[in-house]
Amino acid sequence: MIQRTLGKTNFDIGVIGFGGIPIQRLPEDKAVSIVKLALEKGVNFIDSARAYGDSERLIGLALKGHNKKCFIATKSMSRTYDAMKKDLEISLKNFDCGVIDLYQFHLVKTKGQLDQIMGPDGAYRALKEAQEQGLVKEIGITSHDFDLINYALDTDYFSTIQFPYNIVESQGEALFKKAAKKNIGVIIMKPMAGGALDNGNLAIRYILENPNISVVIPGMDEEKQVEENLNAGINYIPLSEDEKDAIDKIKRELGTKFCRRCGYCLPCPQGIDIPAAFLMEGYFTRYDLTEWAQSRYDALPHKASECIECGACEPRCPYNLQIRDMLKDVALKLEKR
């Protein structure tokens, strides 16, 4: 597989990593076999999170007896010192390892959240202490917000960033270029646009065309997905003109109905977190993570059905999405009760 260096970590990794979100819904033996197959095929970067159900523990089981170095990355939505210490302890137990290579702040949405993380009683202090104790090697950050990651890149606190990038979400390219100049590793999530794309080989090769990207982490829960996704990095072929035309067609077709989670639609007068509602609908519909997505949608303080169709959001959307109609669809799927 093609190898790239994960920024200042100086760790050489295969360009295709393993995204650990979907295995949480599989039986234990099936999940372990999927991870082991990926390892056998050359994957040496695995990403999980405390929020991904049983994912960490399942990956830990698969890694037992694996005799090649694998870069373990996980993340936590904890924002305080005490909460992060507890999450780190759980992660170490789940992976059954003495050190986690990369621990990331998961889904940071606002500068206020980042300020809390970086404060005296924030989660960053817990990870820095763990780093000094040899429990964590590197610290990273993940977000769907361009401005938040752009700000984080200027702080020099992080070894890696994780951000969405795919055929229909290219807004991060400026961030990746900036990160490369600062020698910060770039991890790509949502390569299949939350399941909206169905040609994994084409989608991943599109991402690999960008030299500023370190690794892409598609979620995999079937053997055929492992084979198809890894083949894109093992037998990499540059995109042909016909494939570029196909990509342009996909952009045109999905562009009018796909949320990039840029957040320009906010604030909603009714308090609806519009991008989060669309994100959970994507997980519910396309990832077959119905219970996981439903529980997170249920936790949102304001639901899609609270939309009064004022239309304040739509003129702000740079992609001209029909947000009001899309919110009706979310309510129909996730508020059936």
Of all helices (H) and strands (E), which one includes residue 165? none
The pLDDT score that the predictor gives to residue 71 is 97
Whether 166 and 286 map to the same domain: the answer is no
The pLDDT score that the predictor gives to residue 56 is 98
Block residue for tokens 């990355």: 73
Is 268 inside any structural domain?
no
Q: Is the pLDDT of residue 256 over 70?
A: no
Whether 183 and 44 map to the same domain: the answer is yes
Of all helices (H) and strands (E), which one includes residue 333? helix 323-334
Whether 234 and 296 map to the same domain: the answer is no
Lookup: tokens for 320: 């001209």
Whether 235 and 318 map to the same domain: the answer is no
State the chain's mean pLDDT as an integer.
Answer: 93
- Measure the CA–CA gap between 103 and 137, rounded to whole angstroms: 8
Whether 239 and 307 map to the same domain: the answer is no
Q: Is the pLDDT of residue 255 over 80?
A: no
16 DSSP assignment: B
Whether 302 and 221 map to the same domain: the answer is no
Is 254 inside any structural domain?
no
C-alpha separations of 336 from 116, 328, 330 in Å: 36, 12, 10
For 65-75, the pLDDT digits (tens) are 897 899 999 99
Side chain identity at residue 329, one-letter code: D
**Above pLDDT 70, what percent of the chain?**
99
Whether 281 and 172 map to the same domain: the answer is no
Whether 284 and 329 map to the same domain: the answer is yes
Phi and psi based region of residue 233 (left: phi greater than 0; alpha: psi -120 to 50; beta: remaining) = alpha
**End of a domain among 223, 244, 265?**
244
For 131-160, the pLDDT digits (tens) are 999 999 999 999 989 999 999 999 989 999
Q: Residues 107, 77: contact at Cβ < 8 Å?
A: yes
Q: The CATH number of the domain where 74 resides is what? A: 3.20.20.100
Q: Residues 81, 126: contact at Cβ < 8 Å?
A: yes
Is 284 inside any structural domain?
yes
Q: Domain count for the chain, please give it.
A: 2
**Above pLDDT 90, what percent of the chain?**
81
Whether 279 and 239 map to the same domain: the answer is no
Whether 298 and 155 map to the same domain: the answer is no
Q: Is the pLDDT of residue 181 over 80?
A: yes
Q: Residues 229, 198: contact at Cβ < 8 Å?
A: no
Domain residue limits at 314: 274-334
